[in-house]
Amino acid sequence: MRNTFVLAAVAALTPMIANAHVVRHNSIPEVYWGTWSPGDHACGDGDKAAIVLSAKAYVGPAGRCVVEAVSETPSPDGATYSARLLCPGKGAKAKKSVVNLIFRSDGDGISAGATFEELKAHRRCSASAPAKK
């Protein structure tokens, strides 16, 4: 009887424990602010593949977007972040679109992309970005 109660309690609490690890933020963590260039691309004003991250904004291939929310999920290799971005649509009457950006620390740089399959290594371009924690 007591084993049945323990098993029922564990089964009831397991879904809550599984969802408790995601932390919501309203901005991108400061350590990621700055300009990031994919691969070995040269960092410059004309770099169309570069992304610029700040607390509440993203500028990159998806356009100039506003950060709506950021989810942080811990992993053995460090936190993985998913930013929900509100980006302008194409054309004068286009609706804004929602774009997701996944990013995580990757040694001296970050890996960033719209999906895990599209993650690409990026390196920091500017020295004006905050120091690592």
Helix (H) or strand (E) holding 10: helix 2-19
What's the confidence (pLDDT) of residue 89?
77
Per domain, the residue ranges of the chain are: 21-124
Query: What rounded mean pLDDT belongs to the chain?
Result: 82
Tens of pLDDT, residue by residue over 71-127, are 999 988 899 999 999 998 776 677 888 999 999 998 889 999 999 999 999 999 865
More confident residue, 86 or 15: 86
What's the confidence (pLDDT) of residue 5?
52
CA-to-CA distance for 74 and 33, rounded, in angstroms? Answer: 19
Residue 131: is its pLDDT beyond 70?
Answer: no
Quick one: average pLDDT of 3-30?
68
Window from 6-10, 50-54, 78-82 with minimum mean pLDDT = 6-10
Residue 129: is its pLDDT beyond 50?
Answer: no
How many CB atoms sit inside 10 A of residue 4's CB? 8
Query: Running DSSP on this structure, what letter comes out for residue 11?
Result: H
The structure's pTM equals 0.74
What's the confidence (pLDDT) of residue 118?
93
Burial of 122 (0-12, 13-18, 19+ CB in 10 A): buried
What single letter denotes the amino acid at residue 110?
I
